[in-house]
Structure 1
Amino acid sequence: MATDDSQMTTAAHSPGGGDASRPWTELASDYEQARSREDSLDRLVEWPAQRDMLGDVTGLSLLDAGCGNGAKIAQLVQDGAVASVGVDISDNFVTEAPPGLELIQGDLSDLAAVQGLAGRSFDRILFLQSFGYANDPVHALKTARAMLKDDGFVLLTRTQPIRYAIERAEENGTTLGEEYFSTSSFSYRHRNWNEGVTLTKRPYTMSDLLNIFSAAGMWVETTVEPQMSREIGERYPHKQAVLNRYLGILMFKLRPLPVRF
């Protein structure tokens, strides 16, 4: 999964988080169409930065948790990854998966319970803009940690939390601080995906993210906040304007903390 390029349309504030994964079954095809556009921020910024952070994947096994239609994990297998798996709540997968890739319908909230993953381990585990849909993020990350091979890492990307706070402040006529530190879940629709489908998110701060990583027994080896090159920004000024206003995404390379005896 990846973040959308356009502003969200806030639908309502919701007192509970609900099952944030369920709407993706209906939304998956609309999301993939938006992501594949030539001027998608995923194509221009996110995927190149994610690919760079992964490095050479030749001979490595990968698990993409919340893989959408599986296009990204399929490309990584074509680049040399082996014995890899994509998991998504929707089963709207690419029709022709390359040899060495298995696409499984399942919930990233508990990867250990996904049929076909029991007893398996991976060199790299990816949460590409999907981590926010885990019912219990600490549990989800702990489960992923247990599935890592020696010297493996988790690549986790999330939208800059200030972006959501700015959007909600503009929508609700409130202040940045009020929305950034709000703990109320909010429901919204994406203008660029399908306005008939409502998604629910739990707001988070930077400290929330860091505390989740720590509670799951992970440490941050590298953090990246990818931006457009000047050339691409000049070619797509409307997308550069989005980044200038809403900041973009955060990317974390997470390693397991050493076990203390």
Structure 2
Amino acid sequence: MAESHEQTTSSPTDNPVDPSHAWLELAPDYERARTREDSLDRLVEWPAQRDLLGDVAGRSVLDLGCGNGGKLAELVRDGAAASVGVDVSGNFLSVPVPGLELIQGDLNELDAVPGLAGRTFDRILFLQSFGYAKDPVRTLQTARAMLADDVFILLTKTQPIRYAVEQAERNRTSLGEEYFSTARFSYRSGWNEQITLTKRRYTIADLINVFSAAGLCIETAIEPQLSEDARGRYPHKQAWMNKYLGILVFKLRPHPGQ
């Protein structure tokens, strides 16, 4: 379940619908976009995520909002064991991968997802899915309870400044006004312009405070950029990154003693 579509969504007629319903429509469009040669997921996000995950051989991985399960399948091929992907769309890989279990379920109701009760994992992933959490603190607390000892959550979030820049251009306001505004805002999905999405806003401080309230601390935070080679091959992507900054990637661990 990719991010960029947080909290409440609306149809082209601006009638509110459940965020999960929007993802059901958007999931195939997202997977198509992700496989493009110049996809920022391919060029920036996944390489950074994979690097922070480190050696996964023998490690169990839970991917919450896994999309079709393609990234988790790659981790299983790299040696991850007893790994599970959860996504509300159920739009999964058509060819089974040994050692990989894909479950249709909602990350907002992890306690009710079949097959997760009583299990723990060495890595838990929110790869551009955290924005779907209706109660982000509760969702992270539930995920934290499923962590095995001395392991971590990897969470990727769209840079909040990106949306502030877009809204400032659209509304002819200032960057600061939009970044610190608490009002929700709407925009059409870049994957499917027939769907309009309404987002809640986060500042970077909001994210840090949510992590802390969930009993997590930031071990590492990175803002990955295009490689020198990719900048040369895809100057239009570098121009986008120069303007909108890209993503934040956090490695989160439980607070000591919690």
Give the TM-score, by structure 2 length. 0.93
Query: Per the alignment, in what secondary structure is the counterpart of residue 194 of structure 1?
Result: coil
Q: Does 1:93 find its partner at 2:92?
A: yes
List alignment gaps of at least 5 residues for structure 1: 5-9
Q: CA 1:161–1:133 in 2, change beyond 3 Å: closer, same or farther?
A: same
Q: Which residue of 1 aligns with 2:7?
A: none
CA distance in 1: counterparts of 2:17 and 2:251, whole angstroms? 28
Asked whether the 8 Å contact 1:111–1:140 carries over to 2, the reply is yes
Q: Compute the RMSD of aligned alpha carbons.
A: 2.0
CA distance change for structure 1 residues 106 and 174 in 2, over 3 Å: closer, same or farther? Answer: same
Measured after TM superposition, the shift of residue 19 of structure 1 is 3.5
Q: How many residues align?
A: 252
Consecutive unaligned residues of structure 2, counting only runs of 5 or more, are 5-9
1:253 aligned residue: 251
Residue 232 (structure 1) aligns with? 230
Summarize the alignment of residues 1-261 of structure 1 with structure 2, pairs less than 5 Å apart.
1-2=1-2, 19-191=18-190, 193-259=191-257
How far the C-alpha of 1:174 sits from its partner, in A, is 1.5
Q: Deviations over 1:39-66 (max 9, x none)?
A: 0000000000000000110000000000
Distance 2:196 2:73 in 1: 28
CA contact (8 A) 1:61 1:81 kept: yes
C-alpha contact 1:20 1:201 (8 A) present in aligned 2: no
Q: Deviations over 1:143-186 (max 9, x none)?
A: 00000000110000001100010011111222111111111222
Kindly state the Cα deviation for residue 189 of structure 1 after the two structures are TM-superposed.
Answer: 1.6
Deviations 1:80-133 (A, max 9, x none): 001001011101111113111111111111212211111111000000010011
Verify the 8 A CA contact 1:74 1:97 in the aligned structure 2: no
Maintained 8 Å contact 1:67/1:86: yes
TM-score, L = length of structure 1 = 0.92
CA contact (8 A) 2:11 2:195 kept: no
Structure 1 residues 11 and 118, CA, compared in 2 at 3 Å: closer, same or farther? closer
1:61 and 1:2 mapped to 2: Cα distance? 21
Structure 1 outlier segments of 4+, above 6 Å: none
What corresponds to 1:7 in structure 2?
none
